[in-house]
């Protein structure tokens, strides 16, 4: 087949792709979300399920998503439409692209609000607000931030504008360079924080919480959350990685790049957990404190360690960058589509998309204050105490992304010919290709389906 090129351009090299995709994968999911959902779901067993999901579902699905993107070389909607046509399949596959666009919008709407918290914390740490504070003091600083809608809206707005500006300039602009330095820097700061955690006196306890699996503590819903998080943290199931794959140079090895991205992402999440839980236990805090967990724990460390104001502000700045490089991948599929089909330029497309997501984000802002008692699905037991933000997160991470990922896997495995896959992955028809085929054809679809059915109570395992 003659090889296509994307009208939006191409990454300058396979390394740039690895950086960009790692930039998409490593974000709030690793540092904010992973620790708090681990805390809420009892620790070790949850972490083990999550790691298993990364290895047997996440890695093969990521390969499939990059493969489809590179073969289609268009926005996910057009890629799905085109590949379905090329492989002689049903045109309805393009709706998978649309579902991804919808998930991206919903995720960005709350992602930007939480990234706004990190922005606010950058300034607070730099100003020395946490210096010498007790755990209680740090907790009340957090509460006063989230109970103030005006402040939250300000930070949310700033973050959304940052995201829109970068997307408007094209993915190859500034961020490509920024990611190159900022990701390694984030990594080093996390290691410094783990070093601090080693001296809290509760390091052992933190590690046990993270790594000793106690299966009594995990529920069917917990397994679904672990699997949903595997998709979320690797940016899978909505087209973000597919659209990045569409800019990947033809020669690059999809299998090798995928493994690198998955390892980097997992290591960052585990380091975050190893930094946070010792601080939680040393200060008698609750591991299940919820979305505020890192904002109520890490500032304690920064308030006590020498140079904490400097380290702390650098840390939150890097967290903002990590969130930034993820956020741009959330709207890139939509923006690429608007450029391809609606005759818009990137600036206009990014502005519309950013504005819509911003508006939706207000629902999340209010979930933490004036609407904190609004529980739209209180008639269902599982959702009884979930706010609008909780529901948005649940719907996207635990339903839309796994379902999107499942369909991507099914398309790659059963609708695309073996020959097309071999050609696009550029692998030898040997052991690794066969393992991938088995994982993507059987293991991923069956595992995702079982976890779903188990969570809604149609079957019961364990």
| Site map (CB under 6 A) of ligand PHE, residues 396-435, x = contact | ----------------------------------------
Say how far apart CA 195 and CA 352 lie, in whole Å.
44
Q: Which of 19, 20, 29, 388 binds ligand PHE (CB under 6 A)?
A: 29
**Interaction of residue 245 with ligand PHE, rule CB under 6 A:** no
- Binding piece for ligand PHE, criterion CB under 6 A, among 7-15, 27-35, 205-213, 295-303: 27-35
Q: Which of 18, 28, 243, 425 binds ligand PHE (CB under 6 A)?
A: 28
- Binding piece for ligand PHE, criterion CB under 6 A, among 12-20, 24-32, 54-62, 116-124: 24-32
CA distances from 409 to 7, 51, 193, 444 (A): 26, 19, 38, 7
- Binding piece for ligand PHE, criterion CB under 6 A, among 22-30, 41-49, 175-183, 270-278: 22-30
**Interaction of residue 57 with ligand PHE, rule CB under 6 A:** no
Burial of 204 (0-12, 13-18, 19+ CB in 10 A): exposed
C-alpha dihedral sign at 264, 266, 269, 272: negative
Shortest distance, position 309 Cβ to ligand PHE, whole Å:
26
- Binding piece for ligand PHE, criterion CB under 6 A, among 28-36, 196-204, 243-251, 349-357: 28-36
Residue with tokens 């907790």: 139
Say how far apart CA 159 and CA 114 lie, in whole Å.
9
Q: Locate 168 and state its tokens.
A: 């408007």
Q: Locate 402 and state its tokens.
A: 């796994």
Shortest distance, position 336 Cβ to ligand PHE, whole Å:
14
Check residue 216 and report its DSSP letter.
G
- Binding piece for ligand PHE, criterion CB under 6 A, among 26-34, 55-63, 151-159, 179-187: 26-34
Residue 54 or 220 having the CB closest to ligand PHE: 54
Contact 414, 93 (CB under 8 A): no
Q: Locate 96 and state its tokens.
A: 């998978």
Residue with tokens 């206009």: 348
Say how far apart CA 265 and CA 48 lie, in whole Å.
15
Task: Find the farthest-apart pair of alpha carbons in the chain and give their distance in angstroms, rounded.
Answer: 66
| Site map (CB under 6 A) of ligand PHE, residues 297-336, x = contact | -----------------------------x--xx------
Q: Which residues bind ligand PHE (CB under 6 A)?
A: 24-25, 27-30, 107, 232-233, 235, 238, 240, 326, 329-330
């Amino acid at each position: 087949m003659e090889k296509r090129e994307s009208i939006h351009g191409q990454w300058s090299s396979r390394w740039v792709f690895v950086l960009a995709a790692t930039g998409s994968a490593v974000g709030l999911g690793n540092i904010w979300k992973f620790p708090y959902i681990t805390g809420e779901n009892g620790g070790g067993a949850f972490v083990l399920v999550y790691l298993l999901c990364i290895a047997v579902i996440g890695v093969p699905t990521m390969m499939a998503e990059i493969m489809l993107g590179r073969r289609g070389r268009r926005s996910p909607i057009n890629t799905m439409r085109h590949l379905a046509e090329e492989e002689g399949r049903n045109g309805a596959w393009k709706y998978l692209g649309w579902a991804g666009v919808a998930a991206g919008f919903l995720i960005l709407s709350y992602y930007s609000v939480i990234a706004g918290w990190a922005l606010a914390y950058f300034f607070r740490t730099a100003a020395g607000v946490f210096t010498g504070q007790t755990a209680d003091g740090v907790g009340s600083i957090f509460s006063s931030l989230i109970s103030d809608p005006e402040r939250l809206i300000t930070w949310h707005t700033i973050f959304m504008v940052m995201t829109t500006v970068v997307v408007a300039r094209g993915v190859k602009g500034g961020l490509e360079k920024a990611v190159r330095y900022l990701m390694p820097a984030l990594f080093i700061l996390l290691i410094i924080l783990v070093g601090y955690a080693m001296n809290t006196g509760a390091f052992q306890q933190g590690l046990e919480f993270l790594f000793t699996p106690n299966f009594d503590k995990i529920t069917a819903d917990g397994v679904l959350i672990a699997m949903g998080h595997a998709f979320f943290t690797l940016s899978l199931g909505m087209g973000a990685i597919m659209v990045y794959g569409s800019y990947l140079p033809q020669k690059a090895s999809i299998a090798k790049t995928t493994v690198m991205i998955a390892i980097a992402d997992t290591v960052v999440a585990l380091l975050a957990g190893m930094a946070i839980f010792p601080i939680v236990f040393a200060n008698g805090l609750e591991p299940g404190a919820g979305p505020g967990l890192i904002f109520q724990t890490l500032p304690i460390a920064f308030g006590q360690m020498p140079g904490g104001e400097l380290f702390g502000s650098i840390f939150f700045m890097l967290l903002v960058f990590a969130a930034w490089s993820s956020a741009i991948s959330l709207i890139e599929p939509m923006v690429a589509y608007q450029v391809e089909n609606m005759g818009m330029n990137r600036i206009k497309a990014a502005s519309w998309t950013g504005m819509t997501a911003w508006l939706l984000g207000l629902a999340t802002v209010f979930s933490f204050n004036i609407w904190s008692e609004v529980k739209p699905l209180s008639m269902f037991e599982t959702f009884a105490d979930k706010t609008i933000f909780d529901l948005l997160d649940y719907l996207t991470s635990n339903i839309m992304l796994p379902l999107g990922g499942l369909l991507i896997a099914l398309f790659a495995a059963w609708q695309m010919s073996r020959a097309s896959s071999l050609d696009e992955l550029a692998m030898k028809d040997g052991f690794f290709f066969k393992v991938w085929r088995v994982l993507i054809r059987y293991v991923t679809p069956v595992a995702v389906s079982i976890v779903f059915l188990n969570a809604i109570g149609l079957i019961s395992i364990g």
